[in-house]
Amino acid sequence: WEALGDAGKARLVEICRAVGEALPHWYLGVDVLVGPDFRTLCVLEVNAFGDLLPRLENAGLDTYGAEIAAVLPTTRAPMLCSL
């Protein structure tokens, strides 16, 4: 993650957000390949629901909990990031 540098991290987030804006889903998982040069970024797969991501949590929610929280009107789902 640190090898990407600030510009690379910003580009990675920009790519993932662009994918998210292009697809009509509440929540999705984006699998990104980072090349050996840490500059090449390729979207490999987009899932309408995040794949099995063990031990990935944010605000006490795993990917499944975040999906449920995203559709409940009284909660706001946190952004999950495994980077």
pLDDT tens digits for 23-65? 876 678 888 999 999 999 999 988 876 556 777 788 888 877 8
C-beta atoms surrounding 11 within 10 Å: 14
Give the pTM.
Answer: 0.58
Give the per-residue pLDDT at 70.
Answer: 75
* Average pLDDT value for residue range 17-23: 88
Give the burial class of 28: count Cβ atoms within 10 A of its Cβ; 0-12 exposed, 13-18 middle, 19 or more buried.
middle
CA-to-CA separations, 69 to 27, 74, 79, in angstroms, rounded? 10, 8, 11
Q: Would the pLDDT of 83 be above 50?
A: no
CA 39 to chain centre: 18
C-beta atoms surrounding 82 within 10 Å: 12
